Amino acid sequence: MSKILFVLTGADHWTLADGTQHPTGFWAEEAVAPYEAFRAAGHEVVVATPGGVVPTVDKGSLAAEVNGGQEGADRIASVLAGMTELQRPLRLEDVDLGDYAAVFYPGGHGPMEDLAVDAVSGRLLVDALASGRPLGVVCHGPAALLAAVAEDGANAFAGYRIAAFTNAEEHQAGLGDKAKWLLQDRLTEAGVDVRVGEPWAPHVVVDRNLVTGQNPASSAPLADELLKKLR
């Protein structure tokens, strides 16, 4: 059994352009679907957050309308309740990358608040990318890539093809005009090659050891691609 590191946001809000705090955290499906896939394949999951805080789930991600109905929402909530790893996260500062076969970053708007500027997470991403071990990042999780600065000052992911939550999706979700910045724009400015798929449809991009997904619907297929690299 290999260990897979889940790096989750420690934020419970996202500060908007007008200074208001939008309640958020991590997106349930983006943690649950890969968790189930990795556990079913026999891997152990270890959770880490900045400071070791217990991560907050975005309440919006538990709603029936984003989970295919109430039955789906209830199932997601049930799996989350059973993910005891979420209740005892490691401090991201204490993580030894050598202990893990792969690294995975779920999304939610939380990473826009903390991981986008977290130097410890940024260094972990730089090292994970250089190590060649499978690295998966989904939806707003790629905000963390913005903190992955190489020794020459350039973004370590510059030139990599990725998928990430798009400007179109942010606007359709109703937060595009309220955001301080948009993820697709900021990644592009950093030299990352963002490949845009249809809004809300599964879209996964694989480039070397990096596997990225555009939105919540991409989390399960991303997990499948990551598992292929662990075989």
Give pLDDT tens digits for 109-132: 999 999 999 999 999 999 999 999
pLDDT exceeds cutoff 80 at 1: no
Q: How many CA atoms lie within 13 A of 31 on its CB side?
A: 32
- How far is C-alpha 152 from the geometric centre of its chain's CA atoms? 25
- Cα gap 5→104, rounded to integer Å: 6
Identify the CA nearest to 115 among candidates 22, 26, 188, 185: 26
Residue with tokens 């939610």: 108
Contact 105, 219 (CB under 8 A): no
User: Residue 137's pLDDT is what?
Assistant: 98
Return all residues near 52 (Cβ < 8 A) that are at least 6 apart: 89, 90, 91, 92, 94
* pLDDT tens digits, one per residue of 166-190: 999 999 999 999 999 999 999 999 9
pLDDT at 18 over 90: yes
Cβ contact 225:145 at 8 Å:
no
Neighbours of 193 (CB within 10 A): 14
pLDDT at residue 34 greater than cutoff 80: yes
Tell me how crowded residue 11 is: count the other CB atoms within 10 A of its CB.
26
Q: What is the pTM of this model?
A: 0.98
- The confidence band for 231, taking pLDDT boundaries of 50, 70 and 90, is confident
- Could you tell me what percent of the chain has a pLDDT over 90? 99
**CA–CA gap between residue 108 and residue 111 (Å, rounded):** 7
Q: List, in order, residues 6 or more apart from 82 with CB less than 8 Å away.
A: none
Decide: 52 and 86 in contact? Cβ < 8 Å: no
Collapsing DSSP to helix, strand or coil, 127 comes out as: helix
Indicate the pLDDT class of residue 75, thresholds 50, 70 and 90.
very high
What does the pLDDT look like over 135-168, one tens digit per residue? 999 999 999 999 999 999 999 999 999 999 999 9
pLDDT reported for residue 26: 98
User: Where does residue 201 rank: exposed (0-12), middle (13-18), buried (19+ CB within 10 A)?
Assistant: exposed
